[in-house]
């Protein structure tokens, strides 16, 4: 059973890459553990720079026609006061809004797209071992039966706990634990559904993001740097505490009067982890398997599609896939490094506590108003991130 590409994981990363390579004639096998995708509290709001990647990959129209809703406005509130309402279409280089979808629906749509493009997609299959090499191999189990597969290239698109990353012996770097982020799905919030709503209290250190998914659903995220004051919120019993955190952060309490909870509540570390140069010896990593950016900044979906687009372009450019994958990995290091730098600055500004953080904010916040700060939402890693940009934002 030999293929050009074996892709482990059929989420956003795996299915998008499978579709992109199968439609140009590559023999692609996707091995996906889940028989049916479920709500695992993942990203559901894609920034405009990711929407541009979705367009380039030919995913945008299908997503819009099936499960996704494009949101034009981005509203920021200080306490409960609206401080800015940004028109994303008018103010981003790609003239795009933000794309919201229920994550499991998006996964089903994209894995179907991979099948339609000609990929061999197998579900309910768990990859247990991966062996790097000139002809890398994958061992997978289904219903107690084990199979072996061989390919020119194995792709780890298997998320944060990647088995492929482990099998390929990639090292991981991690940011220190600093923020926590909890998320849950609500219906019944009486807020404008054409707007992403972001709340910060006057004291900073925490934030709430409400992302509209269509059909009166909002994915709500609460992020905090006050780890000792806000214990982890998980399960149904944590929902009342979650709502209280949102209200403390400035969300009007009446927005929760008639809410219904549409899925699990779960808390994650707000910290990035990544592999430098995510290619070696026949194994390449994409999406969260390569680098999970801090979920508090909502860039993971966009970063995942950037990975897919860059890897696809490199593989289509040459028959030498070893060289192509090295090129991808070098480019990945550059844009992930840029994003990580910008997110670290924003973490200092918006989640830092104490007099030094207040000093930083006094310098930095006007830069967001005059447009000289990095634009994480509109441009992501394509924003300036050099020393001059740092001094402009944070001061000398």
Ligand X SMILES: Cc1cc2nc3c(=O)[nH]c(=O)nc-3n(C[C@H](O)[C@H](O)[C@H](O)COP(=O)(O)OP(=O)(O)OC[C@H]3O[C@@H](n4cnc5c(N)ncnc54)[C@H](O)[C@@H]3O)c2cc1C
Site membership for ligand X, residue 6 (CB under 6 A): no
* Whole-number Å distance between alpha carbons of 375 and 366: 14
Binder of ligand X out of 6, 19, 26, 45 (CB under 6 A): 45
Site membership for ligand X, residue 278 (CB under 6 A): no
Site membership for ligand X, residue 11 (CB under 6 A): yes
Sequence-distant (6+) residues with CB within 8 A of 324 are: 311, 314, 315, 317, 318
What pairing do the DSSP bridges indicate for beta strands 137-142 and 279-280?
A: unpaired
Site membership for ligand X, residue 181 (CB under 6 A): yes
Residue nearer to ligand X on the CB measure, 283 or 299: 299
CB of 19 to ligand X, least distance (A): 13
Site membership for ligand X, residue 300 (CB under 6 A): yes
Phi-psi category of 245—alpha, beta or left, where left has phi over 0 and alpha has psi -120 to 50? alpha
CB of 33 to ligand X, least distance (A): 4
Residue nearer to ligand X on the CB measure, 283 or 360: 283
Site membership for ligand X, residue 32 (CB under 6 A): yes
Binder of ligand X out of 238, 278, 295, 378 (CB under 6 A): 295
Binder of ligand X out of 168, 225, 287, 378 (CB under 6 A): 287
CB of 270 to ligand X, least distance (A): 9
* Whole-number Å distance between alpha carbons of 337 and 330: 11
* Whole-number Å distance between alpha carbons of 214 and 70: 9
Residue nearer to ligand X on the CB measure, 242 or 268: 268
Q: Segment contacting ligand X (CB under 6 A): 29-37, 52-60, 329-337, 371-379?
A: 29-37
CB of 314 to ligand X, least distance (A): 18
Phi-psi category of 115—alpha, beta or left, where left has phi over 0 and alpha has psi -120 to 50? alpha
CB of 350 to ligand X, least distance (A): 16
Sequence-distant (6+) residues with CB within 8 A of 314 are: 324, 325, 327, 328, 331
Q: Judged by CB under 6 A, how many residues of this single chain contact ligand X? A: 36
Q: Are 336 and 274 in contact (CB under 8 A)?
A: yes
CB of 263 to ligand X, least distance (A): 12
Q: How far is CA 246 from the centre of its chain?
A: 22
Q: What character string, x for contact with ligand X (CB under 6 A) and - otherwise, covers 304-343?
A: x---------------------------------------
Binding site for ligand X (CB under 6 A): 8-14, 31-34, 41-46, 126-127, 157-159, 163, 181, 183, 268, 287-289, 295, 298-302, 304
């Amino acid at each position: 059973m030999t293929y050009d590409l074996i892709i482990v994981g059929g989420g956003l990363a795996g299915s998008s890459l499978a579709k992109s390579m199968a439609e140009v004639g590559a023999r692609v096998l996707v091995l996906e553990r889940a028989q049916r995708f479920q709500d695992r509290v993942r990203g559901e709001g894609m920034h405009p720079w990711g929407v541009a990647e979705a367009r380039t990959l030919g995913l945008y129209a299908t997503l819009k026609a099936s499960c996704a809703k494009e949101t034009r406005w981005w509203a920021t509130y200080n306490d409960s006061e609206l401080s800015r309402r940004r028109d994303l279409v008018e103010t981003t280089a790609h003239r795009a809004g933000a794309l919201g979808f229920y994550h499991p629906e998006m996964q089903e749509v994209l894995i179907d797209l991979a099948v339609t493009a000609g990929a061999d997609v197998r579900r309910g299959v768990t990859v247990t071992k991966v062996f790097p090499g000139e002809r890398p191999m994958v061992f997978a189990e289904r219903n107690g039966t084990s199979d072996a597969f061989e390919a020119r290239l194995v792709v780890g698109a298997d998320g944060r706990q990647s088995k492929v990353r482990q099998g390929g012996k990639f090292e991981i770097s991690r940011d220190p634990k600093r923020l926590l982020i909890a998320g849950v799905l609500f219906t019944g919030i009486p807020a404008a559904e054409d707007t992403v709503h972001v709340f910060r209290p006057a004291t900073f250190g925490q934030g709430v993001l409400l992302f509209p998914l269509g059909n009166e659903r909002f994915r709500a995220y609460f992020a905090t740097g006050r780890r000792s004051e806000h214990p982890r919120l998980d399960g149904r019993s944590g929902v009342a505490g979650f709502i209280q955190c949102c209200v403390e952060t400035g969300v009007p309490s009446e927005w929760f009067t008639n809410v219904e909870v549409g899925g699990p509540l779960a808390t994650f570390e707000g910290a990035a982890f990544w592999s430098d140069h995510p290619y070696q010896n026949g194994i390449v990593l994409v999406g969260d398997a390569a680098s999970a950016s801090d979920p508090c900044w909502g860039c993971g979906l966009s970063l995942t599609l950037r990975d897919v687009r860059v890897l696809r372009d490199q593989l289509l450019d040459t028959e030498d896939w070893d060289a192509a994958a090295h090129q991808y990995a070098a480019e990945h290091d550059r844009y992930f490094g840029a994003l990580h730098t910008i997110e670290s600055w924003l973490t200092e500004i918006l989640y830092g506590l104490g007099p030094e953080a207040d000093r930083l904010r006094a310098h930095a916040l006007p830069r967001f108003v005059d447009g000289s700060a990095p634009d994480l939402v509109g441009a992501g890693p394509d924003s300036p991130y050099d020393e001059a940009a740092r001094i402009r934002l944070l001061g000398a």
